[in-house]
A and B are shown apart, each in its own frame.
Chain A
Amino acid sequence: MFDKETLAVIFVGLMGLSVLMYAILDGYDLGVGMLLPLDNQQHADIMVASIGPFWDANETWLVLAIGLLLIAFPAAHSLTLKALYLPATFMLIGLILRGVAFDFRAKASFGHRPTWDKLFKLGSLFAALTQGYMLGMYVNGFDTSLSGYLFAMLSAIGVSCAYCFIGATWLVMKTEGELQLKSIKTAKRTLVIAFIGIATVSATNLLFNPDIYAKWFTFPNILFLMPIPIVCGALFALAFMLLKRLQKNPHTGAGFPFLLCILIFTLSFAGLGFSFFPYIVPNQLTIWQAVAAPEALNFLLYGAIVVVPTILMYTAYSYRVFWGKVQELRYY
């Protein structure tokens, strides 16, 4: 039996893991959705096929993250979702549209296909923008002044670009020929915007938030924190060079930009997590104030210890089954 304090840390860690998994995994397939061309059916089919076997499981990380927030920090869950009620609703509508459009586009008659493609793209865009917006609102402590909204809008654009970037690198890895070359170009372009986006959001966050500023720029924190942005910048530069090289020879190392992108996401997330720990709702509620009863959390933890590694294992298996360049999806 763990005590309340330890459980709070364990569960916020688990929640962080699922948010990060979600941002990476659903990030790439929302990115692919946003990049879907409406004038090239063949490319659209390949792009959709590249995420076909995965999108459902990817989205499940969101269910787990929201579930853990609800289970372990119920007060934070209702505080956050009350403040973000409408954007959360819009996000759900976006996720609904892209999830079903994915299936309907294959089964509807050809006449309806372009409509479902549009809904797929629109739903992905909607979901990404609202997620970025909610992140921005959350980070600035639900600040409803003009500057608060502007920051949230900025964050919405930043997150969408980051998703497009990871989506493009996913396509660089999974596709061949013309589509791959096109994706390399897109990846280069979105890399630049995502870099500017992440840098701006981080800088603004530091400027507006004296507590966080103090946390980052005091000794000894600065020693082990400063590497985060520096390494992040270096990874961006490395990814850019790799993409340039891939333009000449797309056959070797096509997976590396995607890998670098995962690292960038992880580092940015770690930076963000550190900035706010131990708050679960910035400036309002710490994890220790919000945590649920140990009787409940211990019971769930026993299961999680066995089940989470199993989930990671069979997720890896499923990626191995569909390893390599995309092939056409068929139900047999």
Chain B
Amino acid sequence: MLDTLLLSRIQFATNISFHILFPTITIALCWFLLFFKIRFDQTADPIWMRAYRFWVKIFALTFALGVVSGITMSFQFGTNWPGFMEKVGNVAGPLLGYEVLTAFFLEATFLGIMLFGSQRVPQKVHTLATAIVALGTTMSAFWILSLNSWMHTPTGFEMRDGVVIPTDWLAIIFNPSFPYRFFHVLLASAITASFLIAGISAYRLLHGDNKRAPKMTLKVALTAAMILTPVQAFVGDLHGLNTLEHQPQKIAAMEGVWETEKGAPLLLFAIPDEETRSNHFEIGIPNMASLILTHDADGEIKGLNEFVGKHPPVKPVFYSFRVMVGLGMLLLLVAWVTRLTLYKNNELPNWMLKVLVTLSFSGWVATLAGWYVTEIGRQPYIVSGVLTVKEAATDIAPENVAISLALYVIVYLGLLYAYLHTIFVMARRAVEIEEISDQLNEQEQENEEKSILLNSAVTKSTVTNSLDTNLDKKVENDHV
């Protein structure tokens, strides 16, 4: 039987991994929506509104998944890590509290107006509501990442009776690793959203959608990706330097360095082995790791052997880091090649579109890999140097945790399937909807849609399923 500690860790990792998939998209997607909306306000070109309408539906769905999985997260701290709140609650609590007060209410309330209010408030107010939701999601990231960064690089506190007491809130909020983590995560979100928009737009084009909207969103998304991927590599490098200063054992695990050495190579591939405390099958670029991390080809990098018993498990950190950086480089390449091709030919060959479709959710993989590097790299601590994971664990019966974990896994797998399926259904449906330019026609079309909808609802039991799906394809189903 697995013990409560291990089960709690698996459950926490499962829940947060599921949760982060959705914020990663919503944070940046909302800024894209704001961009579409502002362009519409400026140009009155209906194409921007069409882009907004299509993507706002995907946003709504993603947001809903983010909210429900987030609520689960806020219960986890108390249920599975009571020791965490007992020891560092005086720091963690207020940061979480500010997140709820300044971010969650803001985004949740204005979301209603953003999604359903455009006929009920002036256009300016609707644009403002979109901006507020975007701001809310970003604020939410600000607070939670401040807390998470503090857990990696704790400052601004003293210990009293074995409990952390905050002494300097500014030092806590803007702790040493926070700026790097905040920008790295925001950029990760922007890259994830860019490739999602590019991928789904490419999917629509491949399915014969000859409207202007998907072409335009493809262009916008690839432009963003082209600019942001190199910036991400740069910020990631700075992030690594910061980590070297505060958590050298994590860097040693990321780079697979066992003995402290000068002029360490950058390992492209290796199989780290904790038994023998060495690597097998190393392929590396000589001196490169030292160059990147110390900006000196002969710089010294501390090895894992200096931290025996106090460093994280090497394999997951080492591999996850390579997945993230590898994908980062791949996305950079793809963004530049496709964007330049688009610039030259004003369209993309089918194979490039297919590559983009394949990469639609690649941002998720890189983001998760990045988080695994960061979080597993903090082991055995839950708060670096202050509290170990073991001390924080709960003493609930393992059966209970096993039951809840099994339930979550089943529900999450179902939801993930439904989410991906629905996004592609929506993309296919969008392909078949007529593009109607003037407002009047659009109104008529809507009325017609409504009557089809009603009919289909009334005769539902008599028509066959295939007829249903036919109707389904013709009607853009905008009713909630």
Q: Residues of A at under 8 Å CB distance from B?
A: 41-42, 45, 48-49, 52-54, 56-57, 59-60, 62-64, 66-72, 74-75, 77-78, 81-82, 85-86, 88-90, 92-93, 95-97, 99-100, 102-111, 292-293, 295-297, 299-300, 303-304, 307-308, 311, 314-315, 318, 321-322, 328-332
| 10 A-B contacts (beta carbon < 8 Å) | A71-B96, A71-B97, A92-B71, A95-B68, A99-B64, A100-B65, A296-B93, A303-B98, A311-B105, A332-B52
Q: Chain B residues near A304 (CB, 8 Å)?
A: 97, 101
CB–CB A111/B468 < 8 A: yes
Given A295-B167, A303-B102, A107-B75 contact (CB < 8 Å): no
Q: Is the CB of B403 within 8 A of A86?
A: yes
Question: Measured between alpha carbons, how far is A56 from B53 in the docked complex, in Å?
Answer: 20
B-to-A contact residues, CB < 8 Å: 49, 52-53, 56-57, 60-61, 63-65, 67-72, 74-75, 77-79, 82, 85-86, 89-91, 93-94, 96-98, 100-102, 104-106, 108-113, 115-121, 163, 165-167, 169, 394-396, 400, 403-404, 407-408, 411, 415, 418, 422, 425-426, 454, 456-457, 460, 465, 468-469, 471-472, 477-480
Q: Check if B67 sits within 8 Å of A49, measured CB to CB.
A: no
From residue A116, how far is it (CB to closest CB) to chain B in Å? 9
How far, in angstroms, from A314 to B415 measured CA to CA in the complex? Answer: 32
Give the secondary structure class of A's interface: helix
Given A53-B116, A71-B89, A60 and B100 touching (CB < 8 A)? yes
- The residues of A that contact B120 with a CB separation of less than 8 Å are 321-322
Q: How many residue pairs at the A-B interface have CB separations less than 8 Å?
A: 250
Interface centre among B68, B113, B408 (most CB of A within 10 A): B68
Chain A residue contacts of B63, Cβ below 8 A: 56
Per DSSP, chain B at the interface is helix
A residues within 8 A CB of B97?
Answer: 67-68, 71, 300, 303-304
- The closest CB in chain B to the CB of A53 belongs to B112
A55 to chain B, nearest CB (A): 9
A48 to B52, CA, bound (A): 23
- State how many angstroms separate the Cβ of A77 from the closest Cβ of chain B: 4
Q: How far is the CB of B230 from chain A (nearest CB, A)?
A: 35
**Which residues of chain B have C-beta atoms less than 8 A from A60's C-beta?**
100, 104-105, 108-109
Q: Given A77-B85, A300-B97, A321-B113, A63 and B472 touching (CB < 8 A)?
A: no
Q: Which residues of B contact A315 (CB under 8 A)?
A: 105, 109
**Which A residues are in CB contact (< 8 Å) with B454?**
42
B-side contacts of A314, CB under 8 Å: 105-106, 109-110
Contact indicator B79/A321 (Cβ below 8 Å): no
